[in-house]
A and B are shown apart, each in its own frame.
Chain A
Protein backbone atom coordinates (compact mmCIF):
# COMPACT_ATOMS: atom_id res chain seq x y z
CA UNK A 1 0.00 0.00 0.00
CA UNK A 2 2.90 2.32 0.66
CA UNK A 3 5.13 0.93 -1.97
CA UNK A 4 3.74 2.60 -5.14
CA UNK A 5 4.35 6.06 -3.80
CA UNK A 6 7.98 5.37 -3.06
CA UNK A 7 8.48 3.54 -6.29
CA UNK A 8 7.18 6.48 -8.21
CA UNK A 9 9.54 8.83 -6.50
CA UNK A 10 12.54 6.96 -7.75
CA UNK A 11 12.30 7.03 -11.56
CA UNK A 12 13.34 10.68 -12.04
CA UNK A 13 16.69 9.79 -10.48
CA UNK A 14 17.19 6.75 -12.68
CA UNK A 15 20.36 7.38 -14.68
CA UNK A 16 19.14 4.97 -17.32
CA UNK A 17 16.55 7.44 -18.52
CA UNK A 18 17.44 9.01 -21.78
CA UNK A 19 17.14 12.72 -21.39
CA UNK A 20 17.84 13.90 -24.89
CA UNK A 21 18.94 17.32 -23.71
CA UNK A 22 21.73 15.89 -21.59
CA UNK A 23 22.99 13.41 -24.16
CA UNK A 24 26.55 14.16 -25.23
CA UNK A 25 27.37 13.71 -28.90
CA UNK A 26 28.88 10.27 -28.52
CA UNK A 27 29.21 8.55 -25.22
CA UNK A 28 29.88 4.85 -25.05
CA UNK A 29 28.43 4.57 -21.57
CA UNK A 30 25.14 6.03 -22.65
CA UNK A 31 25.06 3.78 -25.66
CA UNK A 32 25.48 0.87 -23.36
CA UNK A 33 22.65 2.06 -21.18
CA UNK A 34 20.51 2.50 -24.27
CA UNK A 35 21.19 -1.12 -25.13
CA UNK A 36 20.11 -2.10 -21.63
CA UNK A 37 16.93 -0.14 -22.14
CA UNK A 38 16.18 -2.18 -25.22
CA UNK A 39 16.76 -5.39 -23.34
CA UNK A 40 14.00 -4.31 -20.97
CA UNK A 41 11.47 -4.74 -23.74
CA UNK A 42 9.55 -7.98 -24.01
CA UNK A 43 11.95 -10.59 -25.35
CA UNK A 44 9.43 -11.96 -27.84
CA UNK A 45 10.25 -9.29 -30.35
CA UNK A 46 13.91 -10.21 -30.42
CA UNK A 47 13.14 -13.82 -31.15
CA UNK A 48 10.98 -13.08 -34.12
CA UNK A 49 13.53 -10.82 -35.65
CA UNK A 50 16.73 -12.75 -35.12
CA UNK A 51 16.84 -16.15 -33.54
CA UNK A 52 13.73 -17.74 -34.92
CA UNK A 53 14.90 -16.87 -38.40
CA UNK A 54 17.60 -19.49 -38.25
CA UNK A 55 15.24 -22.23 -37.22
CA UNK A 56 12.71 -21.31 -39.87
CA UNK A 57 15.53 -21.32 -42.38
CA UNK A 58 16.42 -24.88 -41.40
CA UNK A 59 12.79 -25.80 -41.68
CA UNK A 60 12.50 -24.09 -45.10
CA UNK A 61 15.66 -25.66 -46.49
CA UNK A 62 14.69 -29.13 -45.32
CA UNK A 63 11.21 -28.66 -46.73
CA UNK A 64 12.68 -27.54 -50.04
CA UNK A 65 15.11 -30.43 -50.11
CA UNK A 66 12.27 -32.82 -49.40
CA UNK A 67 10.21 -31.17 -52.09
CA UNK A 68 12.83 -31.92 -54.71
CA UNK A 69 12.90 -35.58 -53.65
CA UNK A 70 9.17 -36.12 -53.62
CA UNK A 71 7.64 -37.71 -56.68
CA UNK A 72 5.12 -36.15 -59.00
CA UNK A 73 1.45 -36.30 -58.17
CA UNK A 74 1.99 -35.99 -54.40
CA UNK A 75 0.88 -32.86 -52.49
CA UNK A 76 3.69 -30.42 -51.77
CA UNK A 77 5.55 -30.65 -48.47
CA UNK A 78 4.25 -27.39 -46.94
CA UNK A 79 0.73 -28.38 -47.90
CA UNK A 80 1.11 -31.81 -46.31
CA UNK A 81 2.42 -30.26 -43.12
CA UNK A 82 -0.41 -27.74 -43.13
CA UNK A 83 -2.91 -30.59 -43.33
CA UNK A 84 -1.40 -32.27 -40.29
CA UNK A 85 -0.85 -29.07 -38.34
CA UNK A 86 -4.14 -29.14 -36.37
CA UNK A 87 -3.39 -32.67 -35.18
CA UNK A 88 0.21 -31.85 -34.30
CA UNK A 89 -0.88 -28.70 -32.48
CA UNK A 90 -3.29 -30.75 -30.42
CA UNK A 91 -0.36 -32.93 -29.44
CA UNK A 92 1.73 -29.91 -28.61
CA UNK A 93 -1.10 -28.58 -26.45
CA UNK A 94 -0.96 -31.88 -24.63
CA UNK A 95 2.76 -31.37 -24.00
CA UNK A 96 2.00 -27.97 -22.51
CA UNK A 97 -0.74 -29.46 -20.35
CA UNK A 98 1.62 -32.15 -19.07
CA UNK A 99 4.28 -29.53 -18.36
CA UNK A 100 1.80 -27.34 -16.46
CA UNK A 101 0.53 -30.17 -14.32
CA UNK A 102 3.94 -31.66 -13.59
CA UNK A 103 5.25 -28.22 -12.70
CA UNK A 104 2.30 -27.53 -10.40
CA UNK A 105 2.55 -30.85 -8.58
CA UNK A 106 6.35 -30.77 -8.46
CA UNK A 107 6.41 -27.20 -7.18
CA UNK A 108 3.93 -27.75 -4.37
CA UNK A 109 5.52 -30.96 -3.11
CA UNK A 110 9.07 -29.76 -3.84
CA UNK A 111 8.54 -26.53 -1.90
CA UNK A 112 7.42 -28.58 1.08
CA UNK A 113 10.38 -30.88 0.72
CA UNK A 114 12.72 -27.89 0.44
CA UNK A 115 11.43 -26.46 3.72
CA UNK A 116 11.91 -29.87 5.36
CA UNK A 117 15.51 -29.79 4.16
CA UNK A 118 16.22 -26.85 6.47
CA UNK A 119 14.54 -28.51 9.44
CA UNK A 120 16.50 -28.55 12.67
CA UNK A 121 15.48 -32.15 13.33
CA UNK A 122 18.19 -34.38 11.86
CA UNK A 123 15.89 -37.28 10.84
CA UNK A 124 13.56 -35.01 8.88
CA UNK A 125 16.39 -33.01 7.38
CA UNK A 126 18.33 -36.09 6.36
CA UNK A 127 15.43 -38.03 4.90
CA UNK A 128 14.23 -35.06 2.86
CA UNK A 129 17.77 -34.48 1.67
CA UNK A 130 18.16 -38.10 0.61
CA UNK A 131 14.81 -38.00 -1.18
CA UNK A 132 15.79 -34.81 -2.96
CA UNK A 133 19.18 -36.08 -4.03
CA UNK A 134 17.75 -39.40 -5.17
CA UNK A 135 15.19 -37.86 -7.53
CA UNK A 136 17.48 -35.07 -8.61
CA UNK A 137 20.17 -37.47 -9.74
CA UNK A 138 17.93 -40.01 -11.46
CA UNK A 139 17.48 -39.90 -15.23
CA UNK A 140 14.07 -38.44 -16.02
CA UNK A 141 13.28 -41.23 -18.46
CA UNK A 142 13.95 -43.92 -15.87
CA UNK A 143 11.59 -42.21 -13.43
CA UNK A 144 9.02 -41.99 -16.18
CA UNK A 145 9.30 -45.71 -16.91
CA UNK A 146 8.98 -46.48 -13.23
CA UNK A 147 5.75 -44.54 -12.97
CA UNK A 148 4.41 -46.09 -16.15
CA UNK A 149 4.88 -49.64 -14.97
CA UNK A 150 4.60 -49.32 -11.21
CA UNK A 151 1.39 -47.31 -11.00
CA UNK A 152 -1.91 -49.18 -11.47
CA UNK A 153 -4.12 -48.25 -14.40
CA UNK A 154 -6.86 -47.34 -11.95
CA UNK A 155 -7.32 -46.97 -8.22
CA UNK A 156 -10.44 -47.79 -6.27
CA UNK A 157 -11.26 -45.71 -3.23
CA UNK A 158 -14.38 -47.04 -1.55
CA UNK A 159 -16.74 -47.67 -4.42
CA UNK A 160 -15.18 -44.98 -6.58
CA UNK A 161 -12.97 -45.98 -9.46
CA UNK A 162 -10.41 -43.43 -10.53
CA UNK A 163 -8.80 -44.30 -13.84
CA UNK A 164 -5.10 -43.66 -14.20
CA UNK A 165 -4.48 -43.01 -17.89
CA UNK A 166 -0.96 -43.04 -19.24
CA UNK A 167 -0.68 -39.29 -19.49
CA UNK A 168 -1.50 -38.88 -15.80
CA UNK A 169 1.26 -41.37 -15.04
CA UNK A 170 3.57 -39.30 -17.22
CA UNK A 171 2.61 -36.18 -15.28
CA UNK A 172 3.47 -37.94 -12.03
CA UNK A 173 6.68 -39.36 -13.47
CA UNK A 174 7.85 -35.95 -14.63
CA UNK A 175 6.79 -34.20 -11.45
CA UNK A 176 9.25 -36.29 -9.42
CA UNK A 177 12.44 -34.71 -10.81
CA UNK A 178 10.70 -31.33 -10.81
CA UNK A 179 9.92 -31.84 -7.13
CA UNK A 180 13.54 -32.65 -6.33
CA UNK A 181 14.85 -29.67 -8.28
CA UNK A 182 12.35 -27.28 -6.70
CA UNK A 183 13.39 -28.65 -3.32
CA UNK A 184 17.01 -27.77 -4.09
CA UNK A 185 16.01 -24.34 -5.39
CA UNK A 186 14.23 -23.64 -2.09
CA UNK A 187 17.16 -24.87 -0.04
CA UNK A 188 19.63 -22.87 -2.11
CA UNK A 189 17.57 -19.70 -1.82
CA UNK A 190 17.23 -20.09 1.94
CA UNK A 191 20.97 -20.64 2.26
CA UNK A 192 21.65 -17.52 0.22
CA UNK A 193 19.89 -15.31 2.78
CA UNK A 194 22.55 -13.66 5.00
CA UNK A 195 22.84 -15.31 8.42
CA UNK A 196 22.25 -11.91 9.98
CA UNK A 197 18.59 -12.21 9.07
CA UNK A 198 18.31 -15.36 11.15
CA UNK A 199 20.24 -13.79 14.02
CA UNK A 200 18.19 -10.60 13.98
CA UNK A 201 14.88 -12.42 13.90
CA UNK A 202 16.02 -14.82 16.59
CA UNK A 203 17.11 -11.96 18.82
CA UNK A 204 13.61 -10.50 18.39
CA UNK A 205 12.20 -13.73 19.83
CA UNK A 206 10.60 -15.00 16.63
CA UNK A 207 10.11 -18.76 16.76
CA UNK A 208 11.90 -20.87 14.20
CA UNK A 209 8.68 -21.32 12.27
CA UNK A 210 7.98 -17.59 12.27
CA UNK A 211 11.53 -16.89 11.15
CA UNK A 212 11.09 -19.15 8.15
CA UNK A 213 7.62 -18.03 7.11
CA UNK A 214 7.71 -14.33 8.00
CA UNK A 215 11.31 -13.39 7.37
CA UNK A 216 13.34 -15.88 5.37
CA UNK A 217 10.94 -17.29 2.76
CA UNK A 218 9.41 -13.93 1.76
CA UNK A 219 12.92 -12.85 0.80
CA UNK A 220 13.45 -16.05 -1.19
CA UNK A 221 10.61 -15.81 -3.67
CA UNK A 222 12.42 -13.38 -5.92
CA UNK A 223 15.62 -15.40 -5.87
CA UNK A 224 13.74 -18.60 -6.63
CA UNK A 225 11.84 -17.26 -9.62
CA UNK A 226 14.61 -17.35 -12.26
CA UNK A 227 15.81 -20.91 -11.54
CA UNK A 228 12.21 -22.03 -11.24
CA UNK A 229 11.38 -20.64 -14.67
CA UNK A 230 14.50 -22.23 -16.05
CA UNK A 231 13.36 -25.55 -14.65
CA UNK A 232 9.99 -25.08 -16.30
CA UNK A 233 11.61 -24.53 -19.70
CA UNK A 234 13.67 -27.69 -19.23
CA UNK A 235 10.58 -29.62 -18.16
CA UNK A 236 8.64 -28.47 -21.21
CA UNK A 237 11.37 -29.80 -23.46
CA UNK A 238 11.41 -33.03 -21.47
CA UNK A 239 7.70 -33.66 -21.95
CA UNK A 240 8.50 -35.31 -25.31
CA UNK A 241 9.97 -38.16 -23.26
CA UNK A 242 6.36 -39.16 -22.68
CA UNK A 243 6.24 -40.25 -26.34
CA UNK A 244 8.54 -43.15 -25.51
CA UNK A 245 6.00 -44.52 -23.07
CA UNK A 246 3.16 -44.09 -25.53
CA UNK A 247 1.46 -40.86 -24.49
CA UNK A 248 -0.15 -39.19 -27.51
CA UNK A 249 1.82 -36.00 -27.40
CA UNK A 250 3.43 -34.14 -30.26
CA UNK A 251 6.34 -36.51 -30.89
CA UNK A 252 4.11 -39.57 -30.90
CA UNK A 253 1.75 -37.84 -33.30
CA UNK A 254 4.61 -36.70 -35.52
CA UNK A 255 5.73 -40.31 -35.73
CA UNK A 256 2.21 -41.41 -36.58
CA UNK A 257 1.93 -38.73 -39.26
CA UNK A 258 5.15 -39.95 -40.83
CA UNK A 259 3.93 -43.53 -40.76
CA UNK A 260 0.55 -42.59 -42.22
CA UNK A 261 2.01 -40.50 -44.99
CA UNK A 262 4.69 -42.99 -45.81
CA UNK A 263 7.09 -40.40 -47.20
CA UNK A 264 10.57 -40.54 -45.66
CA UNK A 265 11.46 -37.08 -47.05
CA UNK A 266 8.87 -35.59 -44.66
CA UNK A 267 10.90 -36.64 -41.63
CA UNK A 268 13.23 -33.66 -41.31
CA UNK A 269 10.63 -30.98 -42.12
CA UNK A 270 8.12 -32.39 -39.64
CA UNK A 271 10.60 -32.60 -36.81
CA UNK A 272 11.98 -29.15 -37.60
CA UNK A 273 8.42 -27.90 -37.51
CA UNK A 274 7.97 -29.33 -34.01
CA UNK A 275 11.34 -27.94 -33.01
CA UNK A 276 10.23 -24.45 -34.02
CA UNK A 277 7.22 -24.66 -31.74
CA UNK A 278 9.22 -25.71 -28.74
CA UNK A 279 11.70 -22.97 -29.45
CA UNK A 280 8.99 -20.34 -29.76
CA UNK A 281 7.52 -21.50 -26.48
CA UNK A 282 10.68 -21.97 -24.41
CA UNK A 283 12.97 -19.25 -25.69
CA UNK A 284 10.92 -16.33 -24.35
CA UNK A 285 10.93 -18.04 -20.96
CA UNK A 286 14.71 -18.32 -21.09
CA UNK A 287 15.08 -14.68 -22.12
CA UNK A 288 12.73 -13.54 -19.41
CA UNK A 289 14.65 -15.58 -16.87
CA UNK A 290 17.90 -13.91 -17.85
CA UNK A 291 16.24 -10.53 -17.57
CA UNK A 292 14.93 -11.28 -14.07
CA UNK A 293 18.33 -12.59 -13.02
CA UNK A 294 19.98 -9.36 -14.12
CA UNK A 295 17.33 -7.26 -12.46
CA UNK A 296 17.65 -9.04 -9.11
CA UNK A 297 21.43 -9.12 -9.35
CA UNK A 298 21.48 -5.33 -9.63
CA UNK A 299 19.14 -4.93 -6.66
CA UNK A 300 20.95 -7.20 -4.27
Chain B
Protein backbone atom coordinates (compact mmCIF):
# COMPACT_ATOMS: atom_id res chain seq x y z
CA UNK B 1 0.00 0.00 0.00
CA UNK B 2 1.44 3.39 -0.94
CA UNK B 3 2.30 5.76 1.84
CA UNK B 4 -0.72 7.82 2.85
CA UNK B 5 -0.12 11.53 3.28
CA UNK B 6 -0.11 12.70 6.84
CA UNK B 7 -3.30 14.47 7.70
CA UNK B 8 -1.65 17.37 9.44
CA UNK B 9 0.61 18.21 6.50
CA UNK B 10 -2.00 18.57 3.79
CA UNK B 11 -4.93 20.92 3.43
CA UNK B 12 -8.26 19.33 4.11
CA UNK B 13 -10.30 18.64 0.97
CA UNK B 14 -13.56 18.30 2.88
CA UNK B 15 -14.14 20.54 5.84
CA UNK B 16 -17.20 20.43 8.09
CA UNK B 17 -17.73 23.01 10.80
CA UNK B 18 -20.61 22.90 13.26
CA UNK B 19 -23.10 21.44 10.78
CA UNK B 20 -26.73 21.34 11.86
CA UNK B 21 -29.55 19.84 9.86
CA UNK B 22 -33.12 18.94 10.64
CA UNK B 23 -36.15 17.44 8.95
CA UNK B 24 -39.13 19.36 10.26
CA UNK B 25 -38.88 19.30 14.04
CA UNK B 26 -36.38 16.47 14.19
CA UNK B 27 -32.81 17.59 14.35
CA UNK B 28 -30.82 14.95 12.55
CA UNK B 29 -27.34 16.44 12.71
CA UNK B 30 -26.29 18.40 15.78
CA UNK B 31 -23.12 20.37 15.32
CA UNK B 32 -20.82 17.95 13.56
CA UNK B 33 -17.32 19.11 12.63
CA UNK B 34 -14.45 17.24 11.05
CA UNK B 35 -11.85 17.54 8.31
CA UNK B 36 -10.87 15.05 5.67
CA UNK B 37 -7.45 15.34 4.10
CA UNK B 38 -6.80 14.52 0.47
CA UNK B 39 -6.28 10.80 -0.03
CA UNK B 40 -7.67 10.00 3.38
CA UNK B 41 -10.19 7.22 3.95
CA UNK B 42 -12.65 7.84 6.73
CA UNK B 43 -15.36 5.50 7.92
CA UNK B 44 -18.48 6.67 9.69
CA UNK B 45 -20.31 4.08 11.74
CA UNK B 46 -23.20 4.25 14.12
CA UNK B 47 -26.68 2.94 14.78
CA UNK B 48 -29.32 3.50 12.14
CA UNK B 49 -31.05 6.84 12.38
CA UNK B 50 -27.95 8.51 13.73
CA UNK B 51 -27.67 10.82 10.72
CA UNK B 52 -24.81 9.14 8.86
CA UNK B 53 -26.44 9.00 5.45
CA UNK B 54 -27.86 12.48 5.87
CA UNK B 55 -24.37 13.75 6.62
CA UNK B 56 -23.03 12.33 3.34
CA UNK B 57 -25.93 13.84 1.41
CA UNK B 58 -25.19 17.22 2.93
CA UNK B 59 -21.61 17.03 1.70
CA UNK B 60 -22.60 16.86 -1.96
CA UNK B 61 -25.50 19.25 -1.55
CA UNK B 62 -28.36 16.77 -1.98
CA UNK B 63 -29.71 17.95 1.36
CA UNK B 64 -29.59 21.54 2.57
CA UNK B 65 -28.16 22.25 6.01
CA UNK B 66 -29.64 24.64 8.58
CA UNK B 67 -26.42 26.16 9.82
CA UNK B 68 -22.69 25.63 9.87
CA UNK B 69 -20.34 25.26 6.97
CA UNK B 70 -19.31 22.49 4.63
CA UNK B 71 -16.38 23.20 2.36
CA UNK B 72 -15.19 20.99 -0.43
CA UNK B 73 -11.92 22.19 -1.94
CA UNK B 74 -12.62 25.65 -0.51
CA UNK B 75 -16.04 25.70 -2.14
CA UNK B 76 -18.84 26.49 0.30
CA UNK B 77 -21.42 23.79 -0.44
CA UNK B 78 -24.34 25.68 1.01
CA UNK B 79 -23.60 29.10 -0.41
CA UNK B 80 -26.68 30.54 -2.09
CA UNK B 81 -25.12 30.68 -5.56
CA UNK B 82 -23.18 27.47 -5.50
CA UNK B 83 -22.04 26.08 -8.84
CA UNK B 84 -23.55 22.64 -8.28
CA UNK B 85 -21.97 21.29 -11.43
CA UNK B 86 -18.53 22.22 -10.15
CA UNK B 87 -19.21 20.62 -6.77
CA UNK B 88 -20.55 17.39 -8.20
CA UNK B 89 -17.67 17.06 -10.61
CA UNK B 90 -15.46 16.90 -7.52
CA UNK B 91 -17.69 14.77 -5.28
CA UNK B 92 -18.96 11.40 -6.50
CA UNK B 93 -21.54 9.39 -4.61
CA UNK B 94 -22.56 5.74 -4.52
CA UNK B 95 -25.84 4.68 -2.94
CA UNK B 96 -27.09 1.71 -0.97
CA UNK B 97 -29.69 0.87 -3.61
CA UNK B 98 -27.22 1.31 -6.54
CA UNK B 99 -29.78 3.56 -8.33
CA UNK B 100 -28.54 2.62 -11.78
CA UNK B 101 -30.70 3.88 -14.60
CA UNK B 102 -32.69 0.76 -15.50
CA UNK B 103 -33.42 1.83 -19.07
CA UNK B 104 -29.76 2.09 -20.00
CA UNK B 105 -27.06 -0.57 -20.36
CA UNK B 106 -24.14 -0.70 -17.94
CA UNK B 107 -21.94 1.11 -20.44
CA UNK B 108 -24.58 3.76 -21.18
CA UNK B 109 -25.04 4.31 -17.45
CA UNK B 110 -21.36 5.18 -17.21
CA UNK B 111 -21.32 7.30 -20.37
CA UNK B 112 -24.41 9.41 -19.72
CA UNK B 113 -23.06 11.99 -17.29
CA UNK B 114 -19.74 12.70 -19.07
CA UNK B 115 -21.57 13.12 -22.38
CA UNK B 116 -24.58 15.13 -21.24
CA UNK B 117 -23.13 17.01 -18.29
CA UNK B 118 -19.47 17.48 -19.15
CA UNK B 119 -20.18 17.51 -22.93
CA UNK B 120 -17.15 15.36 -23.60
CA UNK B 121 -16.53 13.64 -26.90
CA UNK B 122 -18.68 10.49 -27.14
CA UNK B 123 -15.94 8.29 -28.62
CA UNK B 124 -13.47 9.23 -25.87
CA UNK B 125 -16.09 8.72 -23.18
CA UNK B 126 -16.90 5.30 -24.57
CA UNK B 127 -13.24 4.37 -24.53
CA UNK B 128 -12.98 5.46 -20.90
CA UNK B 129 -16.21 3.69 -19.97
CA UNK B 130 -14.77 0.41 -21.26
CA UNK B 131 -11.68 1.00 -19.15
CA UNK B 132 -13.80 1.74 -16.09
CA UNK B 133 -15.77 -1.46 -16.60
CA UNK B 134 -12.49 -3.34 -16.64
CA UNK B 135 -11.33 -1.47 -13.56
CA UNK B 136 -14.37 -2.63 -11.59
CA UNK B 137 -13.74 -6.13 -12.98
CA UNK B 138 -16.84 -6.22 -15.16
CA UNK B 139 -15.21 -6.37 -18.60
CA UNK B 140 -17.62 -8.10 -20.98
CA UNK B 141 -20.76 -7.00 -19.16
CA UNK B 142 -20.93 -3.63 -20.91
CA UNK B 143 -24.14 -4.31 -22.82
CA UNK B 144 -26.09 -5.79 -19.92
CA UNK B 145 -29.01 -3.91 -18.46
CA UNK B 146 -28.97 -3.34 -14.68
CA UNK B 147 -31.83 -5.82 -14.27
CA UNK B 148 -29.63 -8.52 -15.78
CA UNK B 149 -26.78 -7.96 -13.32
CA UNK B 150 -26.42 -9.16 -9.73
CA UNK B 151 -26.51 -6.66 -6.87
CA UNK B 152 -22.75 -6.67 -6.49
CA UNK B 153 -22.26 -6.15 -10.20
CA UNK B 154 -24.78 -3.32 -10.24
CA UNK B 155 -23.02 -1.65 -7.35
CA UNK B 156 -19.70 -1.86 -9.15
CA UNK B 157 -21.26 -0.31 -12.26
CA UNK B 158 -22.57 2.44 -9.99
CA UNK B 159 -19.04 3.02 -8.70
CA UNK B 160 -17.73 3.13 -12.27
CA UNK B 161 -20.50 5.54 -13.21
CA UNK B 162 -19.43 7.85 -10.43
CA UNK B 163 -15.75 7.56 -11.37
CA UNK B 164 -16.52 8.54 -14.96
CA UNK B 165 -16.87 12.12 -13.72
CA UNK B 166 -13.28 11.99 -12.44
CA UNK B 167 -14.21 12.97 -8.88
CA UNK B 168 -11.64 13.77 -6.22
CA UNK B 169 -13.81 12.66 -3.30
CA UNK B 170 -16.05 9.61 -3.21
CA UNK B 171 -18.96 9.19 -0.82
CA UNK B 172 -20.14 5.65 -0.18
CA UNK B 173 -23.48 5.36 1.56
CA UNK B 174 -23.81 1.85 3.00
CA UNK B 175 -22.96 0.48 -0.40
CA UNK B 176 -22.86 -3.13 0.73
CA UNK B 177 -25.91 -3.09 3.01
CA UNK B 178 -28.30 -4.33 0.33
CA UNK B 179 -25.99 -7.04 -0.99
CA UNK B 180 -25.76 -10.77 -0.49
CA UNK B 181 -22.84 -11.69 1.77
CA UNK B 182 -20.96 -13.38 -1.06
CA UNK B 183 -21.10 -10.31 -3.30
CA UNK B 184 -20.11 -7.85 -0.58
CA UNK B 185 -16.47 -8.75 -1.03
CA UNK B 186 -16.27 -7.91 -4.74
CA UNK B 187 -17.58 -4.41 -4.01
CA UNK B 188 -15.21 -3.92 -1.08
CA UNK B 189 -12.27 -4.99 -3.22
CA UNK B 190 -13.22 -2.33 -5.75
CA UNK B 191 -13.37 0.32 -3.04
CA UNK B 192 -10.03 -0.81 -1.65
CA UNK B 193 -8.44 -0.50 -5.10
CA UNK B 194 -9.72 3.05 -5.23
CA UNK B 195 -8.46 3.92 -1.77
CA UNK B 196 -5.06 2.51 -2.60
CA UNK B 197 -4.89 4.72 -5.67
CA UNK B 198 -5.21 7.68 -3.33
CA UNK B 199 -8.89 8.52 -3.75
CA UNK B 200 -10.37 10.42 -0.84
CA UNK B 201 -13.18 8.23 0.46
CA UNK B 202 -15.92 8.82 2.99
CA UNK B 203 -17.70 5.60 3.84
CA UNK B 204 -20.79 5.02 5.87
CA UNK B 205 -20.58 1.32 6.53
CA UNK B 206 -21.39 -1.61 8.75
CA UNK B 207 -18.45 -3.65 7.48
CA UNK B 208 -16.29 -3.40 10.59
CA UNK B 209 -13.51 -5.64 9.34
CA UNK B 210 -13.22 -3.59 6.20
CA UNK B 211 -13.28 -0.30 8.09
CA UNK B 212 -10.59 -1.50 10.44
CA UNK B 213 -8.34 -2.59 7.60
CA UNK B 214 -8.82 0.39 5.32
CA UNK B 215 -9.79 3.46 7.31
CA UNK B 216 -7.36 6.15 8.33
CA UNK B 217 -9.85 7.54 10.76
CA UNK B 218 -13.05 6.25 12.34
CA UNK B 219 -16.05 8.30 13.39
CA UNK B 220 -18.84 6.95 15.54
CA UNK B 221 -22.05 8.95 15.39
CA UNK B 222 -25.09 8.56 17.55
CA UNK B 223 -28.14 10.76 17.65
CA UNK B 224 -26.65 13.36 15.34
CA UNK B 225 -23.36 13.93 17.13
CA UNK B 226 -19.89 12.43 16.83
CA UNK B 227 -19.51 10.43 20.01
CA UNK B 228 -16.04 9.17 19.43
CA UNK B 229 -13.40 9.20 16.75
CA UNK B 230 -9.85 8.11 16.28
CA UNK B 231 -7.56 5.84 14.30
CA UNK B 232 -9.13 2.41 13.77
CA UNK B 233 -6.72 0.48 15.98
CA UNK B 234 -7.45 2.58 19.02
CA UNK B 235 -11.11 2.93 18.09
CA UNK B 236 -11.75 -0.80 17.94
CA UNK B 237 -9.42 -1.98 20.65
CA UNK B 238 -9.88 0.68 23.28
CA UNK B 239 -13.09 2.60 22.76
CA UNK B 240 -13.70 5.15 25.48
CA UNK B 241 -17.30 6.19 25.25
CA UNK B 242 -19.83 3.73 26.71
CA UNK B 243 -22.10 4.13 23.65
CA UNK B 244 -19.25 3.14 21.32
CA UNK B 245 -18.47 0.19 23.54
CA UNK B 246 -22.04 -0.96 23.52
CA UNK B 247 -22.40 -0.54 19.74
CA UNK B 248 -19.18 -2.39 19.02
CA UNK B 249 -20.07 -5.20 21.38
CA UNK B 250 -23.36 -5.66 19.58
CA UNK B 251 -21.95 -5.59 16.09
CA UNK B 252 -18.63 -7.40 16.42
Contact = CB atoms under 8 A, between A and B. Distances in A.
Contacts of B92: 203
B93 A5 contact: no
A41 interface: no
Contact of A205 (B84, B99, B101): B84
Interface stretch (B124-132, B141-149, B217-225, B238-246): B141-149
A214 B111 CA distance: 13
A192 to B, nearest CB: 13
Contact of A203 (B60, B101, B145, B148): B60
Contacts of A207: 117
Nearest to B114: A204
B62 A199 contact: yes
Contacts, number: 63
B95 A205 contact: no
A206 interface: yes
A6 B95 contact: no
Interface string A198-230: 011111111100100011001100000000000
Nearest to A195: B99
Given A206-B117, A218-B103, A6 B97 contact: no
B101 A5 contact: no
B105 A205 contact: no
Interface string B72-113: 000000000000110011011101010111110100000011
Nearest to B147: A299
Contacts of A127: none
Nearest to A200: B99
Interface in A278-300: 299
A256 interface: no
A6 B165 contact: no
B212 to A, nearest CB: 28
Nearest to A216: B101
Nearest to A299: B147
A6 B148 contact: yes
Interface in B143-170: 143-145, 147-148, 158, 161-162, 165
Given A206-B116, A218-B103, A196 B97 contact: yes
A181 B156 CA distance: 40
Nearest to B86: A205
B163 to A, nearest CB: 11
A197 B97 CA distance: 10
Given A204-B161, A205-B85, A196 B99 contact: yes
A197 B161 CA distance: 13
A5 B102 contact: no
Contacts of A219: 101-103
Interface in A60-102: none
A196 B174 CA distance: 14
A122 interface: no
B117 A205 contact: yes
Given A6-B148, A214-B112, A219-B103, A204 B162 contact: yes
A205 B103 contact: no
Contacts of A199: 57, 62, 95, 99
Interface string A261-289: 00000000000000000000000000000
A139 interface: no
A202 B85 CA distance: 9
Nearest to B161: A204
A199 B89 CA distance: 15
Nearest to B91: A203
Contacts of B62: 199, 202-203
Contacts of A200: 93, 95, 99-101, 158
Nearest to B96: A196
A164 B57 CA distance: 56
Contacts of A197: 99, 101
A159 interface: no
Interface of A: 2-3, 5-6, 194, 196-197, 199-207, 210, 214-215, 218-219, 299
22 contacts: A196-B95, A196-B99, A197-B99, A201-B101, A203-B88, A203-B93, A203-B162, A204-B113, A204-B117, A204-B161, A204-B162, A205-B85, A205-B88, A205-B89, A205-B113, A205-B117, A205-B165, A206-B113, A206-B117, A210-B116, A215-B101, A219-B103
